[in-house]
Amino acid sequence: MKFVDEFRDPQMARRVLERIHAVVEEIPTTAQRPLQIMEVCGGHTHSIFRYGLEELLPDKIEMVHGPGCPVCVLPMGRVDDCVAIAEQPDVIFTTFGDAMRVPGSKKSLQQANSDGCDVRMVYSPMDALDIARRNPHKNVVFFGLGFETTMPSTALTLLQADREGITNFSLFCNHITIIPTIKAILDSPDMVIDGFLGPGHVSMVIGKAPYDFIASHYKRPLVIAGFEPLDILQSMLMVVEQIRDGKALVENQYKRIVPEQGNNNALKAVGEVFELREFFEWRGLGSIDHSGVRIREKYARFDAERLFAVEPAHVADPKACQCGEVLKGVLKPWECKLFGEQCNPETPIGALMVSTEGACSAYYSYGKIDVKQAV
């Protein structure tokens, strides 16, 4: 398949769906409860709802929407730190667009910009570095966030700034790692996950091997999946076939993009610039050991966390907000008390409603839900 339309072929989708239905009927445990399959990546969540795939799957499969949206798991305290940096004199704070509206305890970056701070949306860290070149008398800070997918571009940008001797560029590092996150999910007593659709973009960088512990230790199948409808359906078929056959393997459906060993050049840049934190706080999931990275001492002069003496603070979500329960799959988005009316894409209260990859935003935009009835 070379072209996008081929990955959206209705006839082929019907054949794969028929096979999924047939395989699920052969799994005896579904008589007691549905199979719980988690798509880890927020991109998959968006695609599943955009194309209505969840409605086409058997009732005996229940999708659990995982914490793979980095904007969605950003805790309020880190947003407050961003605003505090942006409010410093002579600072230009740069960020990806989907982080602009994530609510902090007092305001978002978008609101800080309205209040007079110089907050700019960029499409890459290199855009932020270019702003630093053009504004030598300003301190330009880039808000680095995302999983291993975006780490390499941030690392390469910092290395470029180092080579050029640029002194007015820094990084507020909030990059996070996928493997400790999945382990925390598997260790949680709240969840019973039968299998995983593994993240495609992250795997493009880290490869297939880091997921082996999921199959060997936890005995759960994981299939690295692409993002088109047929990618997701084929990956789902591969997962349920493993469950039926009593297997637990890591398979790569997304071979056209994901190399088995990952991207060595990207991993080298990440290893040069970053080191693991002892722990990092996630919205809704709490503190997870070794789930975030920080800038190595060698490049401390580019570390906004050091330059602006940022002290990470724990700020609890609003009591009525149930993002944590949604992230862990304990609740569906529409079961949150705020969903739809108080919390919606125009006035988000929880982070899951901000990004298009957030489960709540996807349900609100594409789900067939009567909002008034849901609340």
Question: What number of residues does the chain have?
Answer: 375
Q: What is the tens place of the pLDDT at every residue in 245-267?
A: 999 999 999 999 999 999 999 99
pLDDT-derived band at 368 (thresholds 50, 70, 90) equals low
Q: What is the tens place of the pLDDT at every residue in 107-140?
A: 999 999 999 999 999 999 999 999 999 999 999 9
* Position with higher pLDDT, 271 vs 328: 271
**Radius of gyration of the chain, Cα coordinates, nearest whole angstrom:** 21
pLDDT at 375: 38
Question: Contact 375/367 with Cβ under 8 angstroms?
Answer: no
* Position with higher pLDDT, 367 vs 96: 96
pLDDT-derived band at 4 (thresholds 50, 70, 90) equals low
Burial of residue 243 (number of CB atoms within 10 Å: 0-12, 13-18, 19+): buried
pLDDT-derived band at 195 (thresholds 50, 70, 90) equals very high
pLDDT-derived band at 162 (thresholds 50, 70, 90) equals very high
* Position with higher pLDDT, 22 vs 64: 22
pLDDT at 374 over 50: no
Number of structural domains in the chain: 1
Of all residues in the chain, the percent with pLDDT exceeding 90 is 62
pLDDT at 192: 82
Most confident range (mean pLDDT) of 49-63, 185-199, 209-223, 284-298 is 209-223
* 101 is a domain residue: yes
Question: Contact 361/355 with Cβ under 8 angstroms?
Answer: yes
pLDDT at 202 over 90: yes
pLDDT at 312 over 80: no
Q: What is the mean pLDDT of the chain?
A: 89
* 143 is a domain residue: yes
* 3 CB neighbour count, 10 Å cutoff: 7
Query: DSSP characters for 63-109?
Result: EEEEEE-TTTT--HHHHHHHHHHHTSTTEEEEE-GGGTT---SS--H
* 298 is a domain residue: yes
pLDDT at 153: 97
* 200 is a domain residue: no
Residue with tokens 């305001």: 107
CATH assignment of the domain containing 120: 3.40.50.11740
Residue range of the domain that includes 103: 76-177+263-307
* Position with higher pLDDT, 187 vs 151: 151
* 198 is a domain residue: no
pLDDT at 373: 43
* 127 is a domain residue: yes
Candidates 359, 39, 35, 33; CA nearest to 196 is: 39
* 316 is a domain residue: no
Measured CA to CA in angstroms, residue 228 lies from 21, 173, 223, 296, 326 at distances of 20, 31, 15, 37, 24
Measured CA to CA in angstroms, residue 222 lies from 110, 226, 253 at distances of 38, 13, 10
* 231 is a domain residue: no
